[in-house]
Amino acid sequence: MACSPESIVELRRKGEAKMLTEMLRSRVSTTAAVLAAFDELDPLSSDSLVGCWSGFVIATGHPMDGLLNAVGWYGKMFKSVDEAYPLIIRSPGASTLFSIDPSPLPLAGCAKLSPADLVSRFSTVSPLALSTTVSHGRLRMVEYRGKVTGTLIYDQQPILDHFVMVDSNTVLGIMDFKEFRQPGAFVLQRDDDSAVSIDRGGWSQLAAQQLG
């Protein structure tokens, strides 16, 4: 017996939900599967992203997959739609969270490097030396893949992070970086209980201790 169009749609939705659940569990997927999930999930407003978010990378074979973990990435924070902190980092020992300025990061030409060489290049960068109290991005509604949704626009890097809603406390992010044809993928989970102080003095003291 042939399935009705409604049944086909329901089966497709169940398959996509299963794929998304597995993606979140394993933190591994393919670019095609991640983009398919993005296309099916609902867009969200820029205002709904305001807050603190912890994150993890969805490994898709993107050259930058291992980079965020290598620098101790924790997540992102949006104090308002005009005050975005794209890179919240864990301090050595993971006892402190702080924001870093992404503009000095050596991203130019990184598309030509292997993942191992890319991590090696970033191993020379001290996140503590880049700690900042200044926001380095903003949230705006931007169209991506035919969908207008909340997007992080970096101030000094050619990067857009497009977000769609998984649930009220979880979003899927697609990193659209001009250097790469292949987008990257990550997930953010709301973590407003993690107070990320914008107290540069405390970070400077920590940096002085770590950097000697």
Q: What pLDDT, in 10s, does the model give residues 21-49?
A: 889 999 999 999 999 999 999 999 999 99
* Beta-carbon count within 10 A of 18 CB: 10
Distances, alpha carbon 169 to alpha carbons 52, 76, 98, 162, 164, in Å: 11, 14, 22, 16, 11
Question: Tell me, what DSSP letter sits at residue 102?
Answer: S
- Residue 113's pLDDT is 59
Quote the CA–CA distance of 62 and 68 in Å, as a whole number. 12
What pLDDT is recorded for position 81? 97
- Report pLDDT for 204: 43
Any bridge partners for residue 77, and if so which? 52, 85
CA–CA separation, 112 and 206 (whole Å): 34
With cut-offs at 50, 70 and 90, classify the pLDDT of residue 203.
very low
pLDDT: which is higher, 89 or 105: 89
Lowest mean pLDDT among 32-41, 62-71, 111-120, 167-176: 111-120
Is pLDDT larger for residue 113 or for residue 163?
A: 163
Which residue did the predictor score with more confidence, 38 or 209? 38
* Domains annotated on the chain, with CATH: 29-211 (2.40.128.580)
pLDDT confidence of residue 120: 65
Question: How many residues can be counted in the chain?
Answer: 212
For 123-152, the pLDDT digits (tens) are 666 666 677 788 999 999 999 999 999 999
| Pair 97, 52: CB distance under 8 Å | no
Q: Please compute the mean of the pLDDT values over residues 87-99 and round it to a whole number.
A: 75
Q: Give the residue from 23, 3, 64 showing the smallest Cα distance to 172.
A: 23
Tokens 């200044």 found at: 134
Give pLDDT, residue 63: 78
Q: Which residue is associated with the tokens 């000095």?
A: 104
Q: Which pLDDT score is estimated for 210?
A: 39
Q: What angle do CA 190, 159, 131 make, to 5 degrees?
A: 65
Tokens 């107290």 appear where? 199
Query: CB under 8 Å to 191, separation ≥6 — which residues?
Result: 52, 53, 54, 75
